[in-house]
Amino acid sequence: MQELLAQLAIFVIAAFLGYELISRVPNLLHTPLMSATNAIHGVILVGGMITLATDGGAVIKAVGFVAVFFGALNVVGGFWVTNRMLGMFGPPVKRVKKRREG
Amino acid sequence: MQAATFLAYLAAAALFVLGIRRLRRPETARSGNTLAAFGMVIAFLATLFVIQFQGLLLIGAATLLGAVVGAVSAQRVQMTAMPQMVAAYNGVGGGAAALIALSEFYHLQIQGDESIVAAITVPLTVLIGSVSFAGSVVAFLKLQEIAFTGSVVFPLQQVVNVILFVGILVLGANAALDAAILPFLPPVASVTAVLVASLVLGVLLVIPIGGADMPIVISLLNAFTGLAAAASGFVLENYILIIGGTIVGASGTILTRLMSSALGRPLRKIIFAGIAASGGGKGEDQEERPVNDASAETVGEYLKDEAEKIVIVPGYGLAVAQAQTAMRDLVDALEAEGKEVLFGIHPVAGRMPGHMNVLLTEAGVPYEKLYDLEDINPEFDDTDAAIIVGANDVVNPAADDPEQDTPISGMPILEVEKAERIIFIKRSLSPGFAGVDNPLFYDTDKTMMLFSDAKQGLQEVVEAVKNG
């Protein structure tokens, strides 16, 4: 019970944290942000590992194997593609100053 | 749990948060992504200690396989196909959550362990995870144009969805209450039925939504997968799953709202799009109005001889036609003639917010030529020609007109009507996904319509500028 209450508290705080984290984000970054948070929920990989480590029959092993495969795919693909995306953005431009000079 | 692994999880969670924080600014975004990835490595290593290196061989094999497939696909994917790739990664994450919950439930049943928490969170995880998986698959198929393109609707769709959802709740309750409701269906079979029914629900929820709204759907499903991961954290009593999943669930929801408001598309309208889309008659009552149908030669000649400052507005059609290289050629040809060429990028140009910037920079258009909405609008005053390629809604003055109530009303637009001449390169007169006719099409004095596929049209204009 104690454990569950702690988990609930963490859940609520994490929800507020996630809510506050994304505020006044420029449109430009919506796609990379979506892609990066997509990679973060790949943390489900951890769940797959726990499942696969459980003593169980062939069914549990097979399901766990697929879950770990999916999770790793989510994590690696997600972070990798975000990195590629952001690599293309190049250095930022100070537009306002340039305009005023010209 | 050991204190050490708990602290490691805490460090991983902190890195996730720091990573997302840095992702809010273009300057630090890339390092933010790296930080979050580093957090993931810590979570992975800590979990090896949690499970005391049980099943290491299988875990290593599955992880390696997933990592290789993920890395290769992420490295090879065309940037135009990136939204569906994100959908695919999201889908497998949701699928993993559903499978983990199902498997854990099976395991608990064998052990005769009747945890009330698991009884509630397992069906929930399976539901959300499966919807996310199936929905993402449909989004992928739509964007890849393999199946379900456009809006797929059938009679009583919403009713079927509601019945299905109620059915899932009953099955879930049956699993939680040890088959008290449906005695013939044992708990594990019940949860399996939840999984199957939720997959169907995921498909039905996404098929009526048109391709242009897919980015928002993917973002919403991203939040779903986060929630599924969090729910599985309750099932497995694992803190990093709860924290990581919840942060994504919450931030994903906000991000979805931000995106839909940038698009001027309220979430409610998108989710219930099926009904509206089937009822709206685009073709009805459309009189033939004259347009200035221009050839590529005419356009090329005008650009070469009379325009000095040119602003290009790229849109969805450019991405679809994969015309970004032809676009780059046009910029080179015009600059060789001594013209000033800028790009006006609407926040939602392309298939996702920020997507167009990625596409154009990949094609080699210098980053400093790309102007945001606020920066480009003042520029139109002394612009000689605004070239709109494969876009309509983002330049449609109807969005600004308080007299009209349209699906795009209130969306900020690029004010191309302030330019001297307007050139549309577009396949037909058909309105964009919002289905709102654009009055600029019919301004025959000002507007030239070049009816063509974006790629072909641009190539012809390039030729005309070079040889004209």
What is d(CA B309, CA B307) in angstroms, rounded to the nearest whole number? 6
Which residues have C-beta within 8 Å of that of residue B330, sequence separation ≥ 6?
B312, B458, B461, B462, B465
What is d(CA B75, CA B79) in angstroms, rounded to the nearest whole number? 10
Q: Within a domain: residue A12?
A: no
| Domains of chain B, start order | 83-277 (no CATH), 296-467 (3.40.50.1220)
Q: Within a domain: residue A22?
A: no
- From chain B, the residues in CB contact with A2 under 8 A are none
- From chain A, the residues in CB contact with B328 under 8 A are none
How many CB atoms within 10 Å of residue B117? 14
Asked if A21 is an interface residue toward chain B (Cβ–Cβ < 8 A), one would say yes
Residue with tokens 């990664």: B89
Q: Which of B315, B306, B311 is nearest to B426 (CA)?
A: B315
Q: Most distant CA pair in chain B: distance in Å?
A: 83
- B166 class by beta-carbon count within 10 Å (0-12 exposed, 13-18 middle, 19+ buried): exposed
Domain hosting A65: range is 30-89
CB contact under 8 A, B25 and A46: no
Asked if the model's pLDDT at residue A30 lies above 90, the reply is no
Q: Within a domain: residue A15?
A: no
Task: Find the CB nearest B240 among A39, A43, A73.
Answer: A43
Q: Which of B329, B254, B376 is nearest to A34 (CA)?
A: B254
Cα Rg for chain B, rounded, in angstroms? 26
CB contact under 8 A, B222 and A82: no
CB contact under 8 A, B19 and A51: no
Structure tokens that stand for B331 in this block: 């910029």
Q: Which of B157, B176, B273 is nearest to B217 (CA)?
A: B273
Q: What's the pLDDT score for residue B254?
A: 92
Rounded to two decimals, the ipTM of the complex is: 0.90
Q: Within a domain: residue A17?
A: no
Active site residue B285: no
What is d(CA B120, CA B116) in angstroms, rounded to the nearest whole number? 6
Q: Which of B372, B393, B401, B445 is catalytic?
A: B393
Structure tokens that stand for B12 in this block: 């991983």
First to last CA, chain A: 67
Write down the H helix ranges in B112-237.
116-143, 157-176, 187-206, 214-236
Q: Within a domain: residue A96?
A: no
Q: Within a domain: residue A16?
A: no
Q: What's the pLDDT score for residue B319?
A: 77
How many CB atoms within 10 Å of residue B3? 7
Task: Find the CB nearest A73 among B66, B218, B355.
Answer: B66
Q: DSSP letter at B348?
A: T
pLDDT > 90 in chain A, percent? 60
The residues of chain B scoring below 70 in pLDDT are 1, 211-212, 264-265, 273-288, 351, 405-407, 409-410, 431-435, 468
Structure tokens that stand for A72 in this block: 């790793």
Which residues have C-beta within 8 Å of that of residue B337, sequence separation ≥ 6?
B304, B465
Structure tokens that stand for B95 in this block: 């699928």
Task: Find the CB nearest A15 among B71, B222, B246.
Answer: B246
Indicate the helix (H) or strand (E) that contains B266.
none
Q: What's the pLDDT score for residue B75?
A: 95
Q: Within a domain: residue A41?
A: yes
Q: By the 8 A CB rule, do B296 and B464 touch?
A: yes
Residue with tokens 């040889």: B467
Structure tokens that stand for B326 in this block: 């032809």
Backbone angles phi, psi at B24, to 5 degrees: -85, -10
Structure tokens that stand for B84 in this block: 């569906």
Q: What's the pLDDT score for residue B275?
A: 45
Q: By the 8 A CB rule, do B361 and A88 touch?
A: yes
Q: Within a domain: residue A72?
A: yes
Number of domains in chain A: 1
Asked if the model's pLDDT at residue A91 lies above 80, the reply is no
Confidence grade of residue A101 (pLDDT, cut at 50, 70, 90) = very low
